[in-house]
Structure 1
Amino acid sequence: MLPDATASLPVQPAASSFSMAMRILPAAQRAAMQDIYGFCRAVDDVADGDGAPREKCVALERWREDVDACFLGTGPAPLASLTRHLRRYGLAREDFHAIIDGMLMDAQPSPICAPPAAILDLYCDRVASAVGRLSVRVFGLPPGDGILLAHHLGRALQLTNILRDIDEDAAIGRAYLPRELLEDAGIGDITCAWGAGAIAAHPGLSAACTGLAAQACGHYGAARQVLRRHPGACSRAPRLMGAIYQALLARLLARGWDSPREPVRIGKLERIGILLRHAVV
């Protein structure tokens, strides 16, 4: 059965980078972020689930209706706490809609494969930066810099995820690397007639990945500039998330993208070390 809002929102894995970043928040902010995370997990489970594309789209639109009901104060009982957070932190309906729209991109019959750069950027904005825009309201960052941080850090994190998950995505027919970088790397006029697996196995893939990693580094740099303007509690969680994911990107760059690719992870002890270095600023 596809997940919907009639069930409890999922909770984050105890050992995740997200969980570590959220533990440093005050209780009220942590509760809000847990519900935002639960919403994101629930709609992501729909998009990546086993249902037919039409069923997934119907389920995602049902989530949109439930979110709209929350903003009217008539949401389903399992979303009662999320409704309270909407009011307390002034969360924006359009950001929840954007996240659902991003999941709809993944739920289409044809998997995302070698999208043009503009489409990839739109996807990153919907599935990552929109989450950031909700998060910075909870953290209490000023609106202007909060939106700017969400723009850059959301894209940095999502591009890092894409670079980490190339083989996992290829196994389900997805290839998020932008068409322009693939063509520059000599992988040809990509229409995905080859399939995502063939793209992942192509010897030119490393050059395309290095180009995308450079874009991610640029976004991390821009995010750091924003964070420097806001030392203290309001920036601790995003600073920690950025540091963990930037360490992951550095490890990916050191490993490279030539086949076979060993999985890259940041272990618990390393995450704790990053926490000690960054979360007390």
Structure 2
Amino acid sequence: MSATITASELRARVSGSSFYAGMRILPKAEREAMFAIYGFCRLVDDIADDETGEPVAIRQTQLDQWRRDIDGLYAGDDPGQAAFLAEAVRHFHLDRADFLAVIDGMQMDLDRDIRWPDFAELDLYCDRVASAVGRLSVRVFGMDREPGLALAHHLGRALQFTNILRDIDEDAGIGRVYLPGQALAAAGIVPTTPAALVAEPELDAAARWLAARAEVHFSEAGAILAERPRGHLIAPRLMEVAYSRLLDRMTRQGWRAPRKRVRVSKLALLFSILRFSLLP
């Protein structure tokens, strides 16, 4: 997408996200900044998850160009396709390192199809593709540094672990398995291929290993939000509630094949938005 990406194009990029409803009711400057951040995330994610058969070399060139454009944006040079981020970066003092971390996370997917990584590698991946987005977001929300960084850390991990547990079959279909090797070993699984893994009867135990860690991060994020820190926090409150409920529904259903995909309830999201909008 060109450097002349419009506000309506940014909204279209994020409108299918569960974050969208919470972002829409932010003040104008914060709303537009969040649309820009999530538009950026969608654009670079599309490069990493390209399913059209685009050669890896071309996608690598595209990611490298994004790095140069982010560098240009912060150096005061030509920002290229990153121009739409300029106002958000200027107004909210967004950190260049967090944008580059997101690109580095996409690079991990581009370098190889991630399969049963070590938990430390998975945690790094989640920091880059989720918590780095959180670090950008909490600046826009106006949070103080310490609670903001803590919320980004815990909620980012919680959301990404939940996404992994929800998308087991879809990820396996493109050759990826994000469940960590430690979870598979604890369940007695010796992985061979993604297709064989998703049929394993003990996959449920491996998924519950990761679900337990997601629950810890949700608990920590919930405790931070319960303290009512300074900031526009409807969006993170919404995500904490919606995705913790999603994880709870998946845990009750289990992960034995054949799995039924569990989705976030849009009606529940609307009720949550109303409730949070009434908080002092």
TM-score of Structure 1 vs Structure 2, range by shorter chain = over 0.9
Matches within 5 A, 1:249-264: 249-264=247-262
Whichever residue aligns with residue 58 of structure 1, its letter is T
Q: Decide whether the 8 Å contact of 1:240 with 1:279 is kept in 2.
A: no
Whichever residue aligns with residue 276 of structure 2, its letter is H
Q: For residues 215 and 125 of structure 2, what CA distance do their matches in structure 1 show?
A: 18
Q: Offset of 1:7 from its aligned partner?
A: 6.2
Range with greater deviation from structure 2 (25-34 or 234-243): 234-243
Give per-residue Cα distances to partners, 1:61-96, cap 9 Å, x unaligned: 110101111112334465434112111111001001
Q: 1:83 aligns with which of 82, 86, 97?
A: 86
Whichever residue aligns with residue 252 of structure 1, its letter is M
Q: For residues 81 and 51 of structure 1, what CA distance do their matches in structure 2 show?
A: 25
Instruction: Using the aligned pairs only, state the percent identity.
Output: 49
Query: Gaps (5+ residues) in structure 1?
Result: none
| Corresponding residue for residue 268 of structure 2 | 270
How many residues align? The count is: 273
Matches within 5 A, 1:157-172: 157-172=159-174
| Corresponding residue for residue 39 of structure 1 | 40
Q: For residues 279 and 47 of structure 1, what CA distance do their matches in structure 2 show?
A: 36
Q: For residues 106 and 250 of structure 2, what CA distance do their matches in structure 1 show?
A: 26
Q: For residues 91 and 187 of structure 1, what CA distance do their matches in structure 2 show?
A: 43
Q: 1:73 aligns with which of 62, 72, 76?
A: 76
Range with greater deviation from structure 2 (73-82 or 97-106): 73-82
> What is the SS of the residue equivalent to 1:234?
coil
Give per-residue Cα distances to partners, 1:213-241, cap 9 Å, x unaligned: 11001001111121122356522221111
Query: Gaps (5+ residues) in structure 2?
Result: none
| Corresponding residue for residue 16 of structure 1 | 17
Pairing 1:134–2:132 present:
no
Range with greater deviation from structure 2 (254-263 or 133-142): 254-263
Q: 2:59 aligns with which of 41, 56, 60?
A: 56
Pairing 1:211–2:214 present:
no
Q: For residues 163 and 115 of structure 1, what CA distance do their matches in structure 2 show?
A: 15
Give per-residue Cα distances to partners, 1:159-196, cap 9 Å, x unaligned: 000000000000000000000010110102x4xxx211
Task: State the TM-score, normalizing by the size of structure 2.
Answer: 0.92
| Corresponding residue for residue 235 of structure 2 | 237
Q: Offset of 1:54 from its aligned partner?
A: 2.1
Q: For residues 232 and 19 of structure 2, what CA distance do their matches in structure 1 show?
A: 16
Q: Decide whether the 8 Å contact of 2:14 with 2:39 is kept in 1.
A: no
Whichever residue aligns with residue 19 of structure 1, its letter is Y
Give per-residue Cα distances to partners, 1:81-140, cap 9 Å, x unaligned: 4112111111001001100000001112x3000000000000000000000000000000
Task: State the TM-score, normalizing by the size of structure 1.
Answer: 0.92
Q: For residues 180 and 278 of structure 2, what CA distance do their matches in structure 1 show?
A: 37
> What is the SS of the residue equivalent to 2:115?
coil
**Alpha-carbon distance change, 221 to 75 in structure 1, aligned in 2, over 3 angstroms:** farther
Give per-residue Cα distances to partners, 1:20-40, cap 9 Å, x unaligned: 110121111000000000100
Q: CA RMSD in A?
A: 1.7
Q: Decide whether the 8 Å contact of 2:14 with 2:35 is kept in 1.
A: no
**Runs of 4+ in structure 1 displaced over 6 angstroms?**
none
Q: Offset of 1:5 from its aligned partner?
A: 5.0
**Alpha-carbon distance change, 244 to 12 in structure 1, aligned in 2, over 3 angstroms:** farther
Q: For residues 229 and 16 of structure 2, what CA distance do their matches in structure 1 show?
A: 26
**Alpha-carbon distance change, 155 to 5 in structure 1, aligned in 2, over 3 angstroms:** farther
> What is the SS of the residue equivalent to 1:252?
helix
Whichever residue aligns with residue 149 of structure 1, its letter is L
Q: 2:218 aligns with which of 213, 217, 220?
A: 220
| Corresponding residue for residue 157 of structure 2 | 155
Q: For residues 210 and 7 of structure 1, what CA distance do their matches in structure 2 show?
A: 45
> What is the SS of the residue equivalent to 2:15?
coil
